[in-house]
Amino acid sequence: AQSVTQLGSHVSVSEGALVLLRCNYSSSVPPYLFWYVQYPNQGLQLLLKYTTGATLVKGINGFEAEFKKSETSFHLTKPSAHMSDAAEYFCAVSRSNDYKLSFGAGTTVTVRA
Amino acid sequence: SAVISQKPSRDICQRGTSLTIQCQVDSQVTMMFWYRQQPGQSLTLIATANQGSEATYESGFVIDKFPISRPNLTFSTLTVSNMSPEDSSIYLCSVLGGAGGHYNEQFFGPGTRLTVL
């Protein structure tokens, strides 16, 4: 079985400040890890993913995440928040043998001017 | 990445009726998935739909309530049967894709927002 825990359902940051969204997972097999973003009234867009190899992965819109196996974490960061980053962010995990995604509860990011 | 469309984009239905949601992909894909996102909640996998085989349902979801068709490699439908207000959700389809022969990420459609009165 696999599961995802996102710490903090709401995060508020000032424009230009660091964005840090926390994600911890549990998985019985080496996981594939993902971050998706959902803008209001839109579908999900993949920000970045980790499957194998380099543990620091870079995604779109300046986001990056680091896979830390010892901490079972996959936290998402962006050095400088922009107003357009306001959205809901979902961390997800899948297994390599069936690709089914298990999602975290989501974190809503608001950006203050 | 695949381009995915869903029809309808939204609907308001009466309890006891059924709604069929269509998912169309612009390329051939092996694996398609259907998810439900209840109001203010995260996404939950309903079923996996592979062409040429019966859909496989996750715990808590049954074929009689959510029948799925997958007639070819670019199309799938999900029916929400005998609806109740608890079925009010956004229903999303996704496909397994990727680049460089590494098919390990899912691309999502825009979703169908269903309200049951």
Taking only the tens place, the pLDDT of each residue in A4-25 is: 999 999 999 999 999 999 999 9
Is some CB atom of chain A closer than 8 A to the CB atom of B42? Answer: yes
* Range B79-106 average pLDDT: 89
**Is A101's CB within 8 Å of B33's CB?**
yes
Average pLDDT over residues A38-60: 91
The 10s digit of each residue's pLDDT in B29-82 is 989 999 999 998 899 999 999 888 889 999 999 999 999 999 999 999 999 999
Other Cβ atoms less than 10 A from the Cβ of A31: the count is 23
Give the per-residue pLDDT at B100.
64
* Mean pLDDT rounded to a whole number for chain A: 93
- Closest-CA residue to A16 (of A83, A64, A61, A76): A83
Percentage above 90 pLDDT, chain B: 79
Residue A80 confidence (pLDDT) above 80? yes
Q: Show residues of chain B in contact with A32, CB under 8 Å.
A: 104
> What contacts A55, CB < 8 A, 6 or more positions away?
A66, A67, A68, A69
Token digits for A111? 């950006």
Q: Quote the minimal CA–CA distance from A70 to chain B in Å.
A: 23
Q: CB of A101 within 8 Å of any CB in chain B? A: yes
pLDDT of residue A41: 79
Query: Per-residue confidence at B12, pLDDT binned at 50, 70, 90?
Result: very high
SS3 state of residue A105: coil
Gap between the Cα atoms of A13 and B97, Å rounded: 33
- Residue A106: closest CA among chain B residues belongs to which residue? B42
CB A20 within 8 A of CB A75: yes
Q: B112-116 and B102-108 as β-strands: parallel, antiparallel, unpaired? A: unpaired
